[in-house]
């Protein structure tokens, strides 16, 4: 009995559709990419009920001529490649000729399109891949495609669709990415009749502002990096706006959205010394490179990419990011007035700078002022020099230590970082010696340089300095150790033991001499700095780190150094002598990055112009 059948074209096509058309978002991706390939400069996307009920994409691209309209819906119909040579030189987003036929196979379609040469366009309707009607119609140059009732003829697939809101969220995420990848194209995105985005094609910065809002836009560092035929352009977020997951990372190659672990790793490693724990940097970066050195065809949905030269790509992103982070000033600008008028100061403050600790001071000062109903109250400035701070003096050696760049051996994987020629100048805060005005709340030092006033957080500033020095001494294997007359013995379970054995090298670098014997941990030397901290507590903390899977040893070191620096730095509220303040300020003149090890700002700037606006001397 005959068992093998050749599937009829329609069945085969409906099966193939499953690969391209998984969900509404994949339909939208294909359709927008078609519009982009057609050189559209304006694209409108409308969805209803998460795209399940309807998707409408309207573009002003080149259009499809009436003689091609029906062909476009045939499997393997493409105008983008015609032979094998073309396959190696793909510059368009689509090329497989599968999308329209696959989408048509599982939906009801209405396509209107016209090319420049034609007087009249074509209106084609299809159902389940079959042409229902074709008529001439008067319309604009470009293409409008309506996709209705997705999976109406494949109930099994329809069942797998998620709730409309979930599908919608995924579409919105996709539209965001495509807007960023094509920031010179105007996008209008409408969900259930409501305009969500309406961009002007005015560049990446504006798109980021539209999508992520003002706070993010105000915290971007631009990257423009070039090496041979490669360039990296776009923005990274400052450490303060780092996120809890990777969904705020956008990578493009030749303006195509891709995903690549190597690159996100490289950027994350460059951020390592600027970021709080478990945070992921924000970035939107486009890599421009020769088309033949990257394989974009690895994954069917064309998101993963393979590079010819992984090492070089890794290093480029690492260098570009690190240089951008070092060259950025990280100084917070206080701007509580908008261009024309000081409005609701408090409101403005909240939207302008919601996450800076420093803002509390200003808010408090402000509310004090409002509360005092009788005479106008001037905030008293507590200028206090005199009594010295013991803790810092005990660490005098560290305090005066000359600073270096806080670069640990950051790259924990096999990739070795070689610094490349490109280098931005590190930012230096004070071009000349600033005038020290005083100190408020025993916490913020006020200095003036020309027309700018700087508030400096004494704790964050000292902490950062100590941290940089500690990093340097660890890097140079110069951590002072203290020999213990009686070694500490700490009992471990087998898992803890393995953990310590695996990290013994890092712990040695930090100044510990540790051996494991059976299930005991024997500590014979400890870092000098830990002499007055309870060793048990520290070891306990390390054990707790066990819970964090895959904690890298460089993270361990960094956390340890940050903690140590924090413990030994002068605190907010400590009274400093003028010499001590000067010493702190001098530190700022080195190439120290103005963020504390937890990623918080050290310096806040207020311009004279800003103050004049407060008093309405200028508007």
CB of 271 to ligand ADP, least distance (A): 37
State the DSSP string of 159-171.
HT---HHHHHHHH
Q: At what angle do helices 24-37 and 164-181 cross, to 10 degrees?
A: 20
Q: For the chain, percent helix, then strand, then coil, each to nearest 5?
A: 40, 25, 40
Q: How many residues bind ligand ADP (CB under 6 A)?
A: 23
Cα distance between residue 558 and residue 569, in whole Å: 16
Smaller CB distance to ligand ADP: residue 94 or 129?
Answer: 94
Tell whether residue 270 is a contact of ligand ADP (CB under 6 A). Answer: no
The dihedral sign for the CA sequence 366, 372, 376, 377: negative
Residue for token digits 């140590």? 564
Q: Is 79 in the site for ligand ADP (CB under 6 A)?
A: yes
**Site membership for ligand ADP, residue 175 (CB under 6 A):** no
Of 20, 21, 99, 106, which one interacts with Mg ion (CB under 5 A)? 99
- The sheet that has 194-198: what strands, in order across it? 130-137, 121-127, 108-114, 142-148, 54-59, 42-48, 186-191, 194-198
> Rounded to whole angstroms, what are the CA distances from 456 to 332, 438, 459, 462, 466?
11, 11, 9, 10, 16
Q: Report, in Å, the least distance between residue 35 CB and ligand ADP.
A: 5
* Per-residue contact flags (x/-) with ligand ADP for residues 208 to 247, judged by CB under 6 A: ----------------------------------------
Is 297 a residue that touches ligand ADP (CB under 6 A)?
Answer: no
**Minimal distance, residue 561 CB to ligand ADP, in Å:** 53
Work out which of 24, 50, 51, 61 binds ligand ADP, going by CB under 6 A: 61
Considering the rule CB under 5 A, would residue 75 count as an interface residue with Mg ion? no
Looking at residues 119 to 148 of the shown chain, list those that interact with ligand ADP (rule: CB under 6 A). Answer: 143
Among candidate residues 117, 31, 21, 107, the one with its CA nearest the CA of residue 68: 117
Stretch of 26-34, 184-192, 251-259, 426-434 lying at the interface with Mg ion (CB under 5 A): 26-34
- 101 contacts 74 by C-beta, under 8 angstroms: yes
Which of 38, 592 has the CB closer to ligand ADP?
A: 38
Between 78 and 219, CB nearer to ligand ADP: 78
Of 17, 21, 25, 38, the residue at the interface with ligand ADP (CB under 6 A) is 38
Site for ligand ADP contains 429 (CB under 6 A): no
Which three-class secondary structure state does DSSP give residue 91? coil
Query: How buried is residue 286: exposed, middle or buried, by Cβ count under 10 Å (0-12/13-18/19+)?
Result: buried
Which strands sit side by side in the sheet containing 520-527, from one edge to the other? 481-491, 520-527, 513-517
Query: Does residue 32 bind Mg ion (CB under 5 A)?
Result: no
Contact between 34 and Mg ion (CB under 5 A)? Answer: yes
Is there binding between residue 96 and ligand ADP (CB under 6 A)?
yes
**Alpha-carbon gap, residue 407 to 535, rounded angstroms:** 27
**Candidates 35-43, 320-328, 418-426, 564-572; binding stretch for ligand ADP (CB under 6 A):** 35-43
Decide if residue 64 touches ligand ADP (CB under 6 A).
yes
Q: Which of 55, 99, 258, 359 binds ligand ADP (CB under 6 A)?
A: 99
Report how far residue 332's alpha carbon sits from residue 597's, in angstroms, rounded to the nearest whole number: 16
Q: What is the Cα–Cα distance from 109 to 510, expressed in whole angstroms?
A: 66
Task: Give the binding site for ligand ADP (CB under 6 A).
Answer: 30, 34-35, 37-38, 59, 61-64, 72, 77-80, 94-100, 143
């Amino acid at each position: 009995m005959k068992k093998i059948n050749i599937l009829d074209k329609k069945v085969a096509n409906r099966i193939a559709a499953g690969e391209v058309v998984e969900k509404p978002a994949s339909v939208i991706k294909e359709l927008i990419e078609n519009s982009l390939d057609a050189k559209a400069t304006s694209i409108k996307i409308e969805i209803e009920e998460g795209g399940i009920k309807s998707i409408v994409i309207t573009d002003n691209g080149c259009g499809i001529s009436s003689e091609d309209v029906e062909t476009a819906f045939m499997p393997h119909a493409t105008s983008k490649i015609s032979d094998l040579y073309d396959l190696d030189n793909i510059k368009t987003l689509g090329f497989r000729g599968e999308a329209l036929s696959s989408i048509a196979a599982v939906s009801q379609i209405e396509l209107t399109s016209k090319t420049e040469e034609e007087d009249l366009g074509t209106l084609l309707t299809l159902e389940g891949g079959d042409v229902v009607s074709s008529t001439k119609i008067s319309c604009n140059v470009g293409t409008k495609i309506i996709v209705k009732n997705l999976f109406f003829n494949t109930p099994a697939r329809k069942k797998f669709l998620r709730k409309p809101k979930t599908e919608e969220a995924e579409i919105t995420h996709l539209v965001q990415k495509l807007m960023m990848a094509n920031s010179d194209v105007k996008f209008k995105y409408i969900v259930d009749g409501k305009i969500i985005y309406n961009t002007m094609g005015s560049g990446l910065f504006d798109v980021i502002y539209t999508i992520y809002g003002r706070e993010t836009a105000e915290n971007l560092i631009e990257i423009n990096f070039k090496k041979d035929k490669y360039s990296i352009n776009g923005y990274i977020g400052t450490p303060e706006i780092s996120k809890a997951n990777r969904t705020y990372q956008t990578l493009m190659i030749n303006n195509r959205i891709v995903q690549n672990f190597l690159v996100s790793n490289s950027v994350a490693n460059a951020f390592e010394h600027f970021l709080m724990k478990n945070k992921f940097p924000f970035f939107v970066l486009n890599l421009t490179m020769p088309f033949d050195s990257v394989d974009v065809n690895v994954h069917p949905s064309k998101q993963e990419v393979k590079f010819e030269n992984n090492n070089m790509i890794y290093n480029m992103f690492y260098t570009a990011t690190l240089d951008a982070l070092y060259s950025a000033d990280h100084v917070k600008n206080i701007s509580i007035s908008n261009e024309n008028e000081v409005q609701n100061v408090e409101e403005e403050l909240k939207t302008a700078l919601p996450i800076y600790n420093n803002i509390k001071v200003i808010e408090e000062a402000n509310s004090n002022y409002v509360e005092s109903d009788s005479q106008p109250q001037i905030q008293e400035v507590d200028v206090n020099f005199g009594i010295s701070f013991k803790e810092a003096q005990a660490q005098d050696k560290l305090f005066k230590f000359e600073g270096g760049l806080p670069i640990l051996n950051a790259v924990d994987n096999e990739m070795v970082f070689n610094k490349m020629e490109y280098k931005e100048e590190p930012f230096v805060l004070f071009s000349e010696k600033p005038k020290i005005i005083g100190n408020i709340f025993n916490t913020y030092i006020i200095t003036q340089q020309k027309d700018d006033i700087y508030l400096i957080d004494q704790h964050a500033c000292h902490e950062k300095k100590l941290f940089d020095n500690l990093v340097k001494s660890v890097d140079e294997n110069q951590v002072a150790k203290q020999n213990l007359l009686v070694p500490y013995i700490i009992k471990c379970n087998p898992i803890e033991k393995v953990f310590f054995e695996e990290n013994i090298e890092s712990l040695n670098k930090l100044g510990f001499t540790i051996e494991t014997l059976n299930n005991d941990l024997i500590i014979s030397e400890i870092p000098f700095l830990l002499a007055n901290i309870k060793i048990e507590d520290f070891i306990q903390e390390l054990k707790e780190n066990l819970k964090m899977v895959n904690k890298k040893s460089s993270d361990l070191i960094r956390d340890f150094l940050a903690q140590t620096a924090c413990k030994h730095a002068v605190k907010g509220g400590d009274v400093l002598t003028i010499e001590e303040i000067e010493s702190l300020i001098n530190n700022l003149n080195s190439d120290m990055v103005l963020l504390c090890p937890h990623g918080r700002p050290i310096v806040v700037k207020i311009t004279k112009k800003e103050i004049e606006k407060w008093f309405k001397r200028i508007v």
